[in-house]
Amino acid sequence: LYLMAEKVPHTQRERAFSFLKSKGMARLNELIAEGVTASTVSRLEREGALVRLARGLYQLPDASIDVHHTLAEAAKLVPKGVICLTSALAYHELTDQIPAKVWIAIGPKDWRPKFRYPPARFAHFPSNHLQTGVERHVIDGVEVPIFGTAKTIADLFRYRRTIGINVALEGLRGAL
């Protein structure tokens, strides 16, 4: 009786490709946890086999890219953050505006991470506000926390001096 065994990736290169095909994009520490060294990742990047999206964030060059790809990148770069305000409004298709920056909610005492791309804007939310109304959507293989429609509209009115009352009203009209 001949049984076909599923091919298990043995080399670091195979492990990296297998992991990135299943996850879409990965941080360096995730690749290291899969048994891929930082020097292998660097070599793969130099060869053009991997694309460096941001410091410590990689994907395959032929990966399919969703319209909301920047939200997936932001979620990887800010693991404790939640996509909020106009970015969440645009994700839920309740506005015609395309936000110039990804809005990310972080805790009241959290540091603002420093990265160039995607352009991001941070809003400090109270801890209890970060826990409620969060939906998890998969974008390019990455689970992205995004505030739901009702929570987003409430937050737009809460932050109306920063965002603008017209955006809050547009979101409310779109939801109704």
Q: Residue 1: what pLDDT?
A: 43
The mean-pLDDT minimum among 16-20, 39-43, 66-70, 99-103 falls in 66-70
Answer for the pair 119, 98: CB distance below 8 angstroms, yes or no: no
Torsion sign, CA atoms 11, 15, 21, 22: positive
pLDDT band at 6 (very low <50, low <70, confident <90, very high): low
Residue 78 scores a pLDDT above 90: yes
Count of CA atoms in the C-beta half-sphere (13 A) of 33: 7
CA distances for 30 relative to 37, 54, 88, angstroms: 10, 15, 26
Which whole number is the average pLDDT over 82-88? 94
- Assess whether pLDDT exceeds 80 at residue 50: yes
pLDDT > 90? residue 103: yes
- Rounded to the nearest integer, the mean pLDDT of the chain is 87
The stretch 130-151 carries a mean pLDDT of: 92
The predicted model scores a pTM of 0.78
Question: What are the tokens at 69?
Answer: 């790809």
pLDDT at 99: 84
Does pLDDT of 112 surpass 90?
no
Is residue 23 over pLDDT 80? yes
Helix, strand or coil, per DSSP, at residue 139 = strand
Centre a 10 Å sphere on the Cβ of residue 15 and count the other Cβ atoms it contains: 17
